[in-house]
Amino acid sequence: MSETLEAPAMRTTEAPPIVEARGVSRRFAKTLDFAAKLARRLGVKVREEVVHAVDGVDLAIRRGEVVGLVGESGCGKSTLGRMIAGILPPSDGVILSHGRDLRSLDGPEARRVKLATQMIFQDPYASLNPRLKVEEIVGEAPLVHGLARRSELAAYVDEQLRRAGLDPALKKRYPHQFSGGQRQRIGIARALAVQPDFLVCDEAVAALDVSIQAQILNLFMKLRKELDLTYLFISHDLGVVEHLSDRVVIMYLGRVVEEAPAEEVFRSPNHPYTQALLAEVPRIDARKRSFAGVQGEIPSPLNPPSGCHFHPRCPHAMERCKLERPALKAIAPGRRSACHLNDLA
Amino acid sequence: MTPPTLEVRNLRTHFFTRAGVVKAVDDVSFTVERGKVLGLVGESGSGKTVTGFSILGLVDPPGRITGGQILFKGTDLATLSEAQMRDLRGNRIAMIFQDPMMTLNPVLRIDTQMIETVLAHARVSRAEARQRARDALGQVGIPSPEERLAAYPHQFSGGMRQRVAIAIALLHKPDLIIADEPTTALDVTIQGQILAEAQKLCTQYGTALIWITHDLSVVAGLADDIAVMYAGKVAESGPVSEVLDAPLHPYTRGLIGSVPSRNHRGAPLSQIPGMTPSLLNLPPGCAFRARCPRAEARCAEPPPFAEYLPGRHARCIHPHLAEVAAA
Ligand SMILES: Nc1ncnc2c1ncn2[C@@H]1O[C@H](COP(=O)(O)OP(=O)(O)OP(=O)(O)O)[C@@H](O)[C@H]1O
Ligand SMILES: Nc1ncnc2c1ncn2[C@@H]1O[C@H](COP(=O)(O)OP(=O)(O)O)[C@@H](O)[C@H]1O
Ligand code: SF4
Ligand code: SF4
Ligand SMILES: [Mg+2]
Ligand SMILES: [Mg+2]
């Protein structure tokens, strides 16, 4: 393993949390998808309800670590990520950023704390203003927030672009003149320009081709070392998460079900859901294997199963699992899991 | 000897756009035997979907098949009438799209859609057709298929919609299924279920499968053979294990190195420099040469698609033969 990962990983055990979620929940009035809207327009009855996108999550991210957040579509990863980044207020609970409750801050201090966390999205195009040149996209925020003087802005922007692996000669161009991978680099340069120490990356490489994805992943790892960054890395791609993370957090239907150092969770997952998830991951070194699939459907977050949300699909479910929500408990140093089986041992 | 289920020879499909000729598929050849799975991989824009559409005869203007042959169980599809082609589609050859709503009609109940599909190609009673529809839903693992038949597509999750689309593709137990990134939008646990169904299909009915994807890990687990596309051409093809263990083509090698794998946790990934070229007015010669670590002057000439080892083709004048010998 590379030295670059060892050093920060060792330090993380004592480091204070850079951001912490305490008992955080978020509810939404469920919006209809395209098929449902169309059906409703044609007279089919479709109900509107409340979704518990995130349901009572505690999570601490320590300075210098890379935390991978995984789980199936709709389990609440992006919602949790946006709350942690301070761009979506929780319905319940608190988010502490750099030790401060985001709600209690205002004025320049609130701005400083907010800038310290930046978010990188899956679709960089949607988040880049199409009418601005790259130099404006990257230079706008540092100028407004007084991080660079106008006289030195050009050099400052060049530096951010170079860091993100873009030739500064391209800075007079508009976003549509770039490929997907290059647009992601523009998004990264824009985030770096406000000198954050914490990046929330939400499916940041999901839209990219494999060879371009490798370029961006390498860039994230290089920046971590150079700028001493902390990451929350949201991805449905377990291969990517395993490659990059020090610690992995697994969500199922709005709740954290397991949390562990990356190497341990991939070697010996504790929670039955994590076990099922990892068993299904296709791997390039597993040839002509037989797939099985986790039984049953991912339940709707509108109407989640009682007790342990996973019980209808769990091969080990017991009576208690239908009745009682399992708490996320320590099962070993640095490892937590939310499963009643751990009480039997 | 029975001919293979599908044989594609030197297929060319070009789009004659105002900006110029897009050679989306340009000299593509591969064979799929009965009961076997071919993984067709490549980055976006490499021509995978257009290859699938060409086989089905679904290329619309300004696109046109400009060369080559498509032999389905020995019959050249170019010799068939439009009516014969229509009968083949959905009956003997089926396609599964990335978006199941390409197959499903949002305003019709599942049973209506499935029964119509059965009746389109089989002379059976409505009751018999309904029975077949129910069995197909059960086969793809949809619980309580009888009740589900009365549902509309929006009442299903993404994964279930895709399974309904697959069930529809299965209705006539086709000889060939072309699946275009059918699990790309799905979660791993649901993807596992669908891959399991695909495997069952090949072994039980001898269906030949073309599985189009950009995910090498899925191909590794599912396919017998692999064809790697780059810029409209097959860069390399052969048995999956041989190609993934010891690729001949520098592009295949780069692609495999880009996949995060457990052995190299945290180490920098090997990356292919640059990006995929535009297929519009592509210059002659090897399309990979601007990104290739082994490029030399001769690569400005079009490299032949040569069989360097038994069953293993590569479009490269300087393939990794020494590494293959050492592997
Ligand atoms: N603004 C919103 N309004 C209504 N519902 C929402 C909103 N945002 C998210 N949801 C719902 O909350 C749940 C969690 O969504 P979220 O986007 O956090 O999932 P995710 O884990 O990021 O999924 P994916 O892997 O598909 O990105 C889903 O059921 C989603 O439909
Ligand atoms: N209708 C069309 N008109 C012009 N070009 C097209 C059309 N359809 C596809 N292409 C081009 O053909 C090439 C291959 O496309 P496609 O087969 O969809 O790629 P893939 O499925 O491998 O991502 C791309 O360059 C694409 O832009
Ligand atoms: S609590 Fe029960 S149902 Fe939930 S994962 Fe554990 S054993 Fe399975
Ligand atoms: S033909 Fe030349 S440029 Fe093309 S892949 Fe082979 S060595 Fe590289
Ligand atoms: Mg999301
Ligand atoms: Mg495609």
Domain ranges of chain A: 17-33+49-116+198-208+228-344
B257 pLDDT above the threshold of 80: yes
Helix (H, G, I), strand (E, B) or coil at A256: strand
**The predicted structure's pLDDT at residue A6:** 40
How close is the nearest chain B Cα to the Cα of A283, in Å? 5
The whole-number average pLDDT for the span A154-163 is 94
Nearest CA in chain B to A213: B258
Q: Structure pTM? A: 0.86
Q: Do A280 and B240 touch (CB under 8 A)?
A: no
- Whether residues B272 and A211 touch (CB distance < 8 A) is answered with yes
Residues in chain B: 327
**Band of the pLDDT at A30, cuts 50, 70, 90?**
low
User: Which one-letter DSSP state was computed for residue B279?
Assistant: S
Atom 27, ligand 2: which residue's CA is nearest? B45
> Chain B residue with minimal CA distance to A47?
B155
Which residues, by Cβ under 5 Å, contact ligand 5, an ion?
A 78
Closest atom of ligand 4 to CA, residue B287: 4
- Name the CA dihedral angle for B161, B164, B168, B170, rounded to a multiple of 10 degrees: 120
Span of A229-243, B3-17, B173-187 with lowest mean pLDDT: B173-187
Checking if the pLDDT of A343 tops 80, the result is yes
Could you tell me the pLDDT band of residue A68, with boundaries at 50, 70 and 90?
A: very high
Does domain A17-33+49-116+198-208+228-344 fall under CATH 3.40.50.300? My reply is yes
**Over 50: is that where the pLDDT of B294 sits?**
yes
CA–CA distances in Å: residue B270 to residues A113, A232, B321 = 36, 23, 20
Which residue does chain B place closest to A288, by CA atoms?
B221
Of residues B266 and A143, more confidently modeled: A143
Judge whether A80 and A57 are in contact, CB under 8 Å.
yes
| Alpha carbon of B288 to ligand 4 centroid (Å) | 6
* ipTM > 0.90, yes or no: no
From CA A254, how far away is CA B121, in angstroms rounded? 46
Percent of chain B with pLDDT over 90: 65
Contact residues of ligand 2, CB 6 A cut-off: B 15, 17, 22, 24, 42, 44-50, 63, 279
* Residue B49 pLDDT greater than 90, yes or no: yes
Nearest CA to ligand 3 atom 1: A339
Mean pLDDT of A27-33: 75
* pLDDT for the residue A13: 53
Rounded Cα distance between B319 and A47, Å, is: 59
Among the listed ranges A86-90, A299-303, B61-65, B137-141, which one has the minimum average pLDDT value?
A299-303
The contacts of residue A158 (CB under 8 Å, 6+ apart) are A168, A171
| pLDDT over threshold 50, residue A9 | no
Instruction: Give CA–CA dist B23/B42, Å, rounded.
Output: 15
What are the chain A neighbours of B243 within 8 Å (beta carbons)? Answer: none
Cβ <8 Å between B240 and A287: yes
- A62 C-alpha vs ligand 4 centroid, how far in Å? 46
CA A316 to ligand 3: nearest atom: 7
Mean pLDDT of B278-306: 92
Nearest C-alpha to atom 14 of ligand 2 is from which residue? B47
Whether residue A289 and residue B221 make contact (CB cut-off 8 A), yes or no, is: yes
State the Cα–Cα distance between residues B113 and B119, nearest whole angstrom.
10
Mean pLDDT over the full length of chain B: 91
Answer whether B214 sits within 8 Å of A209, measured CB to CB: yes
Whether the Cβ atoms of residue B226 and residue B237 lie closer than 8 Å to each other: yes
Indicate if the pLDDT at residue A3 is higher than 60.
no
Q: Which residues fall within 8 angstroms of residue B168, CB to CB, at 6 or more apart?
A: B94, B103, B104, B113, B114, B117, B136
Alpha-carbon distances, residue B237 vs B31, B71, B162 (angstroms): 10, 18, 28
- Kindly list the residues from chain B whose CB atom is less than 8 angstroms away from the CB atom of residue A300: 157
Give Cα separations from A121 to A140, A190, A206 (angstroms). Answer: 19, 12, 9
pLDDT at A84 over 70: yes
B160 contacts A286? CB cut-off 8 A: no
Return the pLDDT at A14: 60
In this prediction, residue A31 carries a pLDDT of 63
Q: Which residues of A fall within a CB distance of 8 Å from B327?
A: none
d(CA B166, CA B97): 9
Of the candidates A266, A277, A300, the beta carbon closest to that of B262 is on A266
- Choice between A288 and A252, residue whose per-residue pLDDT is larger: A252
Distance (Å, whole) CA B170 – CA B166: 6
Residue that is written with structure tokens 């049973």 in the block: B111
On chain A, the residues whose CB falls within 8 A of the CB of B158 are 73
